[in-house]
Chain A
Amino acid sequence: MAQFDTRVTLKDHLRETQLFSSRIIFFFAITVILIIVLVSRMVYLQIFSHQHYTTLSQNNRVSLVPIPPTRGLIYDRNGVILAQNLPSFTLELIPEKIEDMDLIITELRAIIELSDEDIQRFEKLRNQTSKFKAVPLRYRLTEEEVARFSARRHRFPGVDIAARLMRHYPHGKLAVHALGYVGRINEAELKKLDSASYNGTTHVGKNGVERSYETILHGEVGFKRVETSAQGRVIRVLEEQRPIPGKDLFLHLDIAVQAAAEAALGENRGAIVAIDPRTGGVIALASMPGFDPNPFVNGIETAAYTALATSTQQPLFNRAIKGRYPPGSTLKPFIGLAGLEYDVIHGGSTIACPGWYMLKNDERRYRDWKRDGHGEEVTLRGAIRESCDVYFYDLALNLGIDRISAFMRHFGFGEYTGIDILGETRGLSPSREWKRRAKREMWYPGETLITGIGQGFNLASPLQLAVGTAILANNGLHIEPRLAMALQNSDSNEKEYLPFSVAGTVPVIKKSNWDYVIDSMIKVVHSARGSARRIGEDSSYIIAGKTGTAQVFGIKQNERYIKEEVELHLRDHALFVAFAPARNPTIAVSVIVENGGSGGGVAAPIARKVLDAYIQGSRT
């Protein structure tokens, strides 16, 4: 720097100062601009986009937590509880509060039974849940386990027992096919259910009234609006809307009659349906064998389920509404009534019964169940009373299939009954048209004959038989069968009765015809030659009934049916339909005992027990 003299330095100094000052002023301007940029940005974010960001901030902060409603209870007609909600104890762990998870689980194993499956499920759930939320480890603790844990709770920080309400069926197997059961919502159901109202609900009705009255029993979901932190921890509750509990359901079912029905069937396979003809109310609906629905609530173990599903006894199958059985002779009163109403016969018409019947131009013999026949002069009354097949072969032939099928339809055969549980069969009431459509064949007169005795193509469910019998008992008034009688809000004592649904009326041409048939049915039970006379002897009320013994397999010409020689599953089904008291019926019942043999010998005594339970245990 030595080469610069003082003058130059001074001059430079002045120039430098000016230059620097201009630059400082420049940067002053830059500062102002930058501040303006920042302020503009803030104005943009805080004024113009304020609404947008406020919404985002609210969405961040507030979340809705569903509160599932309590499921409605189910009672029988007398207020006996059939489905209830019991506290069930679950062992839960809060991972955040547990230092050594493996150690805790090992120690828990010493006092509470934990399967490897439990632990695997727990680990899976734990990975999907926030650290501070409780993760279930074991469901359905026994009271003993709860007590054992409670005594040692202090040793297990972060472990607790939670009580949840679980569906429970106190009567176990009883009426399971009517009640159905609830189970955990599966993936298919998840797609179908309204996700908003099932938010938080874990179980849904799978079967029976639990399924068909699902929306009523379920109730309406409530919610809590909560403020949560970024990790999802609930800080406080902002707003709460209580759930509306499901309504309680009162059934027409009488659990005492149901119990009598199931006890009467005992070890047999079969079904019983009892209906109050005045209301259509289903008093009993039994399908045996049944099963205990309680294990299904939280998921039945695979082995137990397989055992049920593969059992030859088919306990899961609801015979009462799904079973398709040949109605056999139980159809005869209806055919007889058709004959009278269509004026094909009258009360005095007689026929000779040699024990078989033959069509013109046909060599085949249509046999009567009684080899030697029912005599020279069989009236309709006698034919019903003793279940004479030949009489009905002749009558059916004279009526013709068209009139038979039209008349049967009035009594609900071949039609859905409209009962308020799902899965019923329509049965089959054959007609010329049906055969052309289904089999592409013409109708043969021989088929008309066996239709007249309830065999051949005829198929009906126990429910359909009961409904048909009820229509007969009701002088033609056809009321749809119903399990549900009334609804009741859980916080009130006022029952809201459900209306009957009249499906139609059978046109009554002559009331005396109906009386004649009913009188004949009374003779079935209450006369010396009645096919069910055994149950009428000591009855304190009058029963109108009709036995049926339905063939499961055909017997070749010139063969005899010898019960002892036929394999069990090929033996005849025993059937019985009845209503009582005959003059003022309050109950109509149908009984089917699979491979039970004789209707009068096996099915009728069972029906009697059901009628006794209802009429003598008398409550209405």
Chain B
Amino acid sequence: MSFNSSRQYSPWVDRRQSKSMMGIVRGFHLDWPLFAGLLVLSVVGLFILYSASGQDLGTIGRQVLRLTMAFMVMLLIAQIPPHHLEFWTPWVFSLGIVLLLAVLLFGDVGKGAQRWLDLGLFRFQPSELMKIAVPMMVAWYLSEKAMPPSFLRILVALSIIVVPVTLIMKQPDLGTSLLVGSAGAIVLLLTGISWWLIGTAGILMAASAPVAWFYLMHDYQRQRVLTFLSPENDPLGSGYHIIQSKIAIGSGGIYGKGWLNGTQSQLDFLPERSTDFIFAVFAEEFGLIGILFLLSIFSYIVMRGLRIAYQAQDTYTRLLAGSLVLTFLVYVFVNIGMVSGLLPVVGVPLPLVSYGGTSMVTLMAAFGVLMSIHTHRKLLPS
């Protein structure tokens, strides 16, 4: 794997600069439909957070600040043409690996996990960078050759995924490693490798689960899986989260208890209600009607992302766009799945709704990449 040389630096001419109907400013790259979806989601998220935080305006203020920053990052990245991204891909990935190693060696410990790198001014989670860097790297590597990739290239691509995922798991951060791993895996699935191969891989993974259970997982992670399987066994301990969250959702009913009136959330029965379990607050206060609305916003964003991937013009951008949007879907599904008791509790926030900074910036950076891919298309001769 060599960094570049064979790769052609192709400075496309961006015709949108002159023909754009949507850009307010000439030459400003922005996908309005996606932007609108994200904006609506953010506003809805702020309303939920206001309730979940116990009507704390300070929390809202900090979240608004983060959202603003994240949107700015998105818009900034949207301006970078995809071929620049492609060019820098191996460097970003290598930096990410180095930082992950640094975290394991010098990182700050918080809540029993080593995730943070203190850079003096701010703290930084290198694992977040890998959420984008891994799919970029896999896409970069695979798009070198024609699709579908050969078996050997698939193995190399797998190792590109496995190395950072293992490092993140060691921190330990099951949620992020899951997201990073799925981002990479989705790239592979999108390349069109045969279903037969995918099926075999799936069986192999299932077979290796016991190995992960005994050698790779931490006690608390094993506990989470056990708790997921039977939360009622430990109602005051680790099962408490899931039980209380299901009570919150179920008691919401069709119409919900009303904004700021959720007893599970307002009376502190629901743990982590501003962060990972914020969906339960929403479900309790707005009911099924509210959930259908929220899920439509998420669906809209995913559909728009898939459309962007569908319309992308070369292998690298296709694979990257597809992976980034589908990772967003994984986020949503894993979070809601765990809060509603379908999946084990892994620390995955609800995108743009959960309170918290780093993951939001990464997420919006990914949407920036999507926008960049979409708005820098060459108009193909018909």
Contact B147 A12 (CB under 8 A): yes
> Cβ of A24 < 8 Å from any Cβ of B?
yes
> Cβ of A150 < 8 Å from any Cβ of B?
no
Cβ contacts under 8 Å, A235 to chain B = 267
Contact B192 A46 (CB under 8 A): no
Bound complex: CA of A16 vs CA of B149, how far in Å? 11
Cβ contacts under 8 Å, A53 to chain B = 246-247, 249-251
Contact B287 A46 (CB under 8 A): yes
Residue A45 contacts which of B144, B191, B250, B269 (CB distance < 8 angstroms)? B250
- Report if A19-B268 is in contact (Cβ < 8 Å); known contacts: A38-B333, A46-B253: no
Per the CB 8 Å criterion, the residue count for chain B at the interface is: 50
Bound complex: CA of A73 vs CA of B292, how far in Å? 63
Contact A38 B337 (CB under 8 A): yes
Contact A23 B322 (CB under 8 A): yes
Bound complex: CA of A96 vs CA of B204, how far in Å? 55
Cβ contacts under 8 Å, B295 to chain A = 35, 38-39
Contact B190 A50 (CB under 8 A): no
> Cβ of A398 < 8 Å from any Cβ of B?
no
- Report if A228-B267 is in contact (Cβ < 8 Å); known contacts: A34-B329, A42-B249: yes
B244 to chain A, nearest CB (A): 8
Residue B310 contacts which of A21, A31, A37 (CB distance < 8 angstroms)? A21
Residue A1 contacts which of B6, B248, B249, B336 (CB distance < 8 angstroms)? B6
Cβ contacts under 8 Å, B288 to chain A = 42-43, 46-47
Cβ contacts under 8 Å, A569 to chain B = none
Task: Give B136-184 interface residues, CB cut-off 8 Å to A.
Answer: 144-148
Cβ contacts under 8 Å, A60 to chain B = 244, 247, 263-264, 267, 269
> Cβ of A618 < 8 Å from any Cβ of B?
no
Bound complex: CA of A41 vs CA of B190, how far in Å? 28
Contact B190 A52 (CB under 8 A): no
Contact B190 A57 (CB under 8 A): no
Residue A46 contacts which of B250, B319, B336 (CB distance < 8 angstroms)? B250
> Cβ of B375 < 8 Å from any Cβ of A?
no
> Cβ of B231 < 8 Å from any Cβ of A?
no
Cβ contacts under 8 Å, B337 to chain A = 38, 41
Bound complex: CA of A37 vs CA of B268, how far in Å? 29
> Cβ of B281 < 8 Å from any Cβ of A?
no
Task: Give A1-25 interface residues, CB cut-off 8 Å to B.
Answer: 1-2, 4, 9, 12, 15-16, 19-24
Contact A231 B268 (CB under 8 A): yes
Q: Which residue of B lies closest to A39 (CB)?
A: B295
> Cβ of B226 < 8 Å from any Cβ of A?
no
Bound complex: CA of A54 vs CA of B284, how far in Å? 10
A25 to chain B, nearest CB (A): 8
A-B contact count (CB 8 A): 139
Contact A16 B315 (CB under 8 A): yes
- Report if A230-B269 is in contact (Cβ < 8 Å); known contacts: A19-B147, A34-B329, A37-B342: yes
Contact A230 B267 (CB under 8 A): yes
Contact A56 B287 (CB under 8 A): no
Bound complex: CA of A532 vs CA of B319, how far in Å? 123
> Cβ of B189 < 8 Å from any Cβ of A?
yes
Bound complex: CA of A227 vs CA of B262, how far in Å? 13
Majority secondary structure of chain B interface residues (helix, strand, loop or mixed): helix
> Cβ of A500 < 8 Å from any Cβ of B?
no
Majority secondary structure of chain A interface residues (helix, strand, loop or mixed): helix
A227 to chain B, nearest CB (A): 7
> Cβ of B20 < 8 Å from any Cβ of A?
no
B8 to chain A, nearest CB (A): 9
Cβ contacts under 8 Å, B70 to chain A = none
Bound complex: CA of A52 vs CA of B247, how far in Å? 8
Cβ contacts under 8 Å, B246 to chain A = 45, 53
A 26-68 to B, binary, CB cutoff 8 A, 1 in contact else 0: 0110010011011101110111011011101100110000000
> Cβ of B132 < 8 Å from any Cβ of A?
no
Binds A, one of B88-96, B110-118, B301-309: B301-309
B 342-360 to A, binary, CB cutoff 8 A, 1 in contact else 0: 1000000000000000000
Interface centre among A2, A21, A50 (most CB of B within 10 A): A50
Cβ contacts under 8 Å, B191 to chain A = 19-20, 23
Bound complex: CA of A52 vs CA of B309, how far in Å? 43
Interface centre among B145, B267, B329 (most CB of A within 10 A): B267
Contact B306 A28 (CB under 8 A): yes
Contact B322 A24 (CB under 8 A): yes
Cβ contacts under 8 Å, B318 to chain A = 20
Contact B309 A24 (CB under 8 A): yes
Cβ contacts under 8 Å, B48 to chain A = none
Contact B263 A41 (CB under 8 A): no
A 436-476 to B, binary, CB cutoff 8 A, 1 in contact else 0: 00000000000000000000000000000000000000000
Interface centre among A9, A12, A27, A227 (most CB of B within 10 A): A27
Cβ contacts under 8 Å, B144 to chain A = 1
- Report if A229-B268 is in contact (Cβ < 8 Å); known contacts: A31-B306, A47-B253: yes
A50 to chain B, nearest CB (A): 5
A462 to chain B, nearest CB (A): 60
A234 to chain B, nearest CB (A): 11
> Cβ of B53 < 8 Å from any Cβ of A?
no
Q: Which residue of B lies closest to A59 (CB)?
A: B247
A168 to chain B, nearest CB (A): 41
Contact B253 A54 (CB under 8 A): yes
Contact B310 A16 (CB under 8 A): no
Bound complex: CA of A21 vs CA of B147, how far in Å? 13
Contact A31 B302 (CB under 8 A): yes
Interface centre among A4, A9, A23, A54 (most CB of B within 10 A): A23
Contact B250 A20 (CB under 8 A): no
Bound complex: CA of A28 vs CA of B299, how far in Å? 10
Contact B251 A54 (CB under 8 A): yes
Residue B329 contacts which of A12, A19, A31 (CB distance < 8 angstroms)? A31
A256 to chain B, nearest CB (A): 59
Q: Which residue of B lies closest to A27 (CB)?
A: B326
Q: Which residue of A lies closest to B145 (CB)?
A: A1
B355 to chain A, nearest CB (A): 19
> Cβ of B77 < 8 Å from any Cβ of A?
no
Bound complex: CA of A158 vs CA of B259, how far in Å? 35
A306 to chain B, nearest CB (A): 44
Cβ contacts under 8 Å, A230 to chain B = 267-269
Bound complex: CA of A9 vs CA of B322, how far in Å? 22
Bound complex: CA of A20 vs CA of B326, how far in Å? 14
Task: Give B318-348 interface residues, CB cut-off 8 Å to A.
Answer: 318-319, 322, 326, 329, 333, 336-337, 340, 342
Bound complex: CA of A35 vs CA of B292, how far in Å? 10
Residue B254 contacts which of A16, A37, A47 (CB distance < 8 angstroms)? A47
Residue B247 contacts which of A31, A38, A57 (CB distance < 8 angstroms)? A57
Contact B147 A20 (CB under 8 A): yes
A461 to chain B, nearest CB (A): 57
Contact B267 A227 (CB under 8 A): yes
Cβ contacts under 8 Å, A28 to chain B = 303, 306
Q: Which residue of A lies closest to B302 (CB)?
A: A31
Cβ contacts under 8 Å, A57 to chain B = 247-248, 250-251, 263-264
Contact A41 B342 (CB under 8 A): yes
Bound complex: CA of A20 vs CA of B147, how far in Å? 9
B54 to chain A, nearest CB (A): 11
B 254-265 to A, binary, CB cutoff 8 A, 1 in contact else 0: 100000000110
- Report if A34-B342 is in contact (Cβ < 8 Å); known contacts: A20-B318, A27-B306, A45-B250: no
Q: Which residue of B lies closest to A49 (CB)?
A: B250
Bound complex: CA of A301 vs CA of B144, how far in Å? 91
B24 to chain A, nearest CB (A): 30
8 of the cross-chain contacts (CB-CB < 8 Å) are A16-B147, A16-B192, A31-B329, A41-B337, A46-B283, A49-B250, A57-B264, A60-B244
The 5 closest A-B pairs by CB, nearest first: A53-B250, A19-B192, A57-B251, A230-B268, A12-B146
Q: Add 9 more A-B contacts to A24-B190, A46-B253 (CB < 8 A).
A: A4-B146, A24-B306, A28-B306, A38-B333, A46-B249, A49-B250, A57-B251, A61-B269, A229-B267
Interface residues of A (CB under 8 A from B): 1-2, 4, 9, 12, 15-16, 19-24, 27-28, 31, 34-35, 37-39, 41-43, 45-47, 49-50, 52-54, 56-57, 60-61, 227-231, 235
